[in-house]
Amino acid sequence: MMKFICLTLLIINGITDSISEQYKVVGPADPVFAVAGEDVILPCSIKPNISVVDMRVEWFRSDLKDSQLVHLYEDHEDRNIEQIQSYRGRTKLNHPELQRGDASLKLSSVRVSDEGLYKCFIQSKSRSDDATVNVSVEVVGRPPVITVDGFDHSGGLHLQCESEGWNPEPDLEWLDSEGVSLSSETTEMHRNTEGFSVKHTITLHHSDDKIHCRVKLRHHMLEALIISSSNMFHSWRTSVIVISVFVVLSVIAGILIAVFAHKNREHSQLQNEKRRLQHERDQLLQSLKTIIPKALTHSRTHKVNVILDADMAHQRLIVSDDGKQVRNGNRETGVNGGKDRFDQYLGVLGKDGFSSGCFYFEVQVKGQTRWYLGVTRASVSRKGWIRLSPMNGYWTVGLKNGKYRARESSYVSLSLSVNPQRVGVFVDYEKGLVYFYDVESMSHIYSYTDQSFDEKLYPFVSLGYLYNTNSAPLIICDD
């Protein structure tokens, strides 16, 4: 009887082992998209979901020479002695998930060099199978820069937009103030070790309130804005006429001077006169170069008088009597908290909201190392931790841990050439535009476009989340 029981157990165990050895390694059908600098999971599992704890799990790059090792799990532990140097300390298996047949690999701090084909190879005592994972790495490049290349003979304004450091190749388009796409005249695309750079040029033959240059890559978008006016074209044409007349007069004067020199043989004196005329011509041409940047200066005709509402401020904030400054009080408790006050973000709203037209205000952030500013809907939550994103009714840019960023569905890192000391915020309610720029350098910071506003928008400033030990105030600028 005992022999029969043992034989039965052996047969059952053999059948179980045989069934457990029948599996298939499964990976994603579509490429896995990763953003440079962030973490990504490379999916891999076996079907049915049996344990792979006792199996060999090997990840390697099938598109590299000799299929170099990315990660190896064997005999119940990670064995990465022969791992590619560039992957050291950046790969990890979730060991508890191995029990459920999940051998997905976590890759940290993704790099452009991580892009390629990966094999997930799983081997048991009597069987092996593998799946391929195609990884595509996205790199969000630098904000686009619009430059003015001058006017042609017909009065057309040449604009050039350029952005660098993208991967893969991004899409660049020009849009007019109505959001209609404009055709580019020339397109240049280059690739180097930092990624793709793209450059487009257009020529405007009439004024348009706003011209947008937008660079897009899947879910990422950066944009620059240039504001033109009929005065710019008028100023150019007037200057062209003046210069043309001056050039003609200079040529005539040169001819007369040459004749006079020939007749009177006073060559050195006439050469001095000629150099003087040339100098005056150069000065006039130089003055022309200042017309275009002056015409591009953002108009402050929509500037509003922002007064901060002390009754809305976090209880640790101190708002000045005139409502133009806010700073941290460096205290654990302050005024009584109210239902409308911020209780975790060190934030405060403006007293007045706006539900139509355009409005503009400026905030001095000089000396402060942690801040957020922008606009928010009247009905937003001001309690607890808040994601400062358009989805939650906040359109902001900010500085935290030395890094500038905006917030769409995820954080957008901002690469700024200089640290802004004064930030301008422009809102066009009907067109759904919130535009931020560095007032002193007249450079673009970030834009939220194609937004939908359905209630009042209020100016919003904040000294960060929970704490801020910096005593520098944020100041509403009226000058």
Report the CATH fold assignment for 23-138.
Answer: Immunoglobulin-like (2.60.40)
Nearest to 474 by CA among 407, 374, 402: 374
Q: How confident is the model at residue 192 (pLDDT cuts 50, 70, 90)?
A: confident
Nearest to 91 by CA among 60, 117, 49, 113: 60
pLDDT value for 243: 42
| Contact status, residue 135 vs residue 118, Cβ threshold 8 Å | yes
pLDDT value for 263: 60
Burial 233-256 (b: 16+ CB within 10 A, else e): bebbeebeeebeebeeebeeeeee
| Contact status, residue 58 vs residue 71, Cβ threshold 8 Å | yes
* Model confidence at 234: pLDDT above 60: no
413-423: average pLDDT: 92
Question: How many residues are recorded in the chain?
Answer: 479
| Contact status, residue 398 vs residue 371, Cβ threshold 8 Å | yes
Rounded-to-integer distance, Cα 360 and Cα 211, Å? 19
**pTM score of the predicted model:** 0.42
| Contact status, residue 110 vs residue 34, Cβ threshold 8 Å | yes
Rounded-to-integer distance, Cα 54 and Cα 56, Å? 7
| CATH tag, 310-477 | 2.60.120.920
pLDDT value for 341: 86
220 Cβ contact list (under 8 Å, min separation 6): 138, 140, 412
Q: Which two tokens stand for residue 479?
A: 């000058």
Convert the pLDDT of each residue in 379-415 to its tens digit. 888 888 888 999 999 999 999 999 999 998 888 999 8
- The CA distances from residue 293 to 91, 148, 170, in Å, are 50, 8, 28
373 forms bridges with which residues in the sheet?
397, 461
* Model confidence at 40: pLDDT above 70: yes
- First-to-last alpha carbon distance for the chain, in angstroms, is 101
- In three-state secondary structure terms, 284 is helix
Report the CATH fold assignment for 145-228.
Answer: Immunoglobulin-like (2.60.40)
Convert the pLDDT of each residue in 274-308 to its tens digit. 677 666 545 543 443 343 334 335 446 789 999 99
| Contact status, residue 329 vs residue 356, Cβ threshold 8 Å | no
| Contact status, residue 59 vs residue 105, Cβ threshold 8 Å | yes
Q: Put residue 401 in one of left, alpha, beta given phi > 0 → left and psi -120 to 50 → alpha.
A: left
| Contact status, residue 132 vs residue 62, Cβ threshold 8 Å | yes
Domain ranges of the chain: 23-138, 145-228, 231-296, 310-477
* Model confidence at 473: pLDDT above 50: yes
- The CA distances from residue 459 to 50, 360, 361, 434, 454, in Å, are 56, 9, 8, 11, 16
Question: Is 310-477 in the same CATH topology as 23-138?
Answer: no
